Amino acid sequence: MHSLLAAEYTTSYSTSSSGELDPAVTLFILALYLVVFIGVIAGMWKVFTKAGKPGWAAIVPFYNTYTMLEIAGRPGWWLLLFFVPGVQLIIAILIGIDIAKSFGKSAAFGVFGLGIFSFVGYPMLGFGKATYQGANPTNLSATTAAPVAAPVAAAPPAPPTPPTTPPAA
């Protein structure tokens, strides 16, 4: 009886699947990946053209990152920070925040939409109604702008001076 159980166990074990994906599932995943990839490239292309940069820069490696740094108003040497492991994620989120502010969006949109979920954020920014407001991220939207000083009232006019009469001779 012991040999019968062992035979059943090995038979059921040897008939398990090999772990390969069905070719239809593989093609579906590949097609979905290509659609998302093309959407991100198109969104970045539109973001670049809205900012006055060449759209083709979105498809050139390293130059697209340099162009994003220009749009964000950051120095070009920050490109080197993308080669430091761990730092690159922080820099990508900071650049996302600056680009979002350059288009009048919130810092939360920069973190989540452009930094973490860029496959959604860049098409939203590129094909949406947002306009490029400049690379100065500190004074772009009404929520982050410095308050406007109240107008100063003009000083009242001076009282008229009485006419002087010439002395009598």
Tens of pLDDT, residue by residue over 10-60, are 555 544 456 677 888 899 999 999 999 999 999 999 999 999 999 999 999
Cα atoms in the Cβ-side hemisphere of radius 13 Å centred on 73: 16
pTM, two decimal places: 0.65
CA distance 36 to 96: 19
Confidence of residue 68 (pLDDT cuts 50, 70, 90): very high
Find the helix or strand (DSSP H, E) in which 92 lies: helix 87-102
CA distance 116 to 123: 14
Tens of pLDDT, residue by residue over 110-152, are 999 888 888 899 999 999 998 999 876 454 443 334 444 445 5
